[in-house]
Amino acid sequence: MASSDEELVRRTAELARLSITPAEAAHLAPQFARILEHFKTLSDVDLEGVEPTTGAFGLRDVLRADEPRASLTQDEALANAPERIEDFYSVPKTIGGDA
């Protein structure tokens, strides 16, 4: 196992924002190398006459007219709010410490 394989594992883990130990990198390197070998076989596939595709189906975007329509009233919009302060939703604070 080449140290370059381990370096490739460490770099890939870094890009994925994963923390791995040197022992984990050494353990994963041979597996990673085998996986990459399988991908290299794709370069041997004859693609002569095959048109490039972006998906399996010939789907297109379906567009509709952007027409204005009636909106919810304020009471309708707030009807299912777990807690309400006047005309606003009240939600627990999620960042910045205590309430």
- 44-66 residue pLDDT tens: 889 899 888 777 776 778 888 88
Q: Is residue 14 part of a domain?
A: yes
Q: Is residue 35 part of a domain?
A: yes
Q: Is residue 49 part of a domain?
A: no
Q: Is residue 82 part of a domain?
A: no
Give yes or no for a contact between 5 and 32, defined as CB atoms under 8 angstroms apart.
yes
Q: Alpha helix (H) ranges present in the chain? A: 3-15, 22-40, 74-78
Q: For position 38, which CATH number holds?
A: 1.10.20
Q: Is residue 76 part of a domain?
A: no
Q: Say how far apart CA 79 and CA 71 lie, in whole Å.
A: 14
Please count the structural domains in the chain: 1
For residue 81, what are its two tokens?
């709010």
pTM over 0.85: no
For residues 31 and 92, the model is more confident at 31
15: containing domain: 3-44
Whose tokens are 């399988």? That residue is: 38
Q: Is residue 21 part of a domain?
A: yes
Determine how many CB atoms are found less than 10 A away from the CB of residue 6: 21
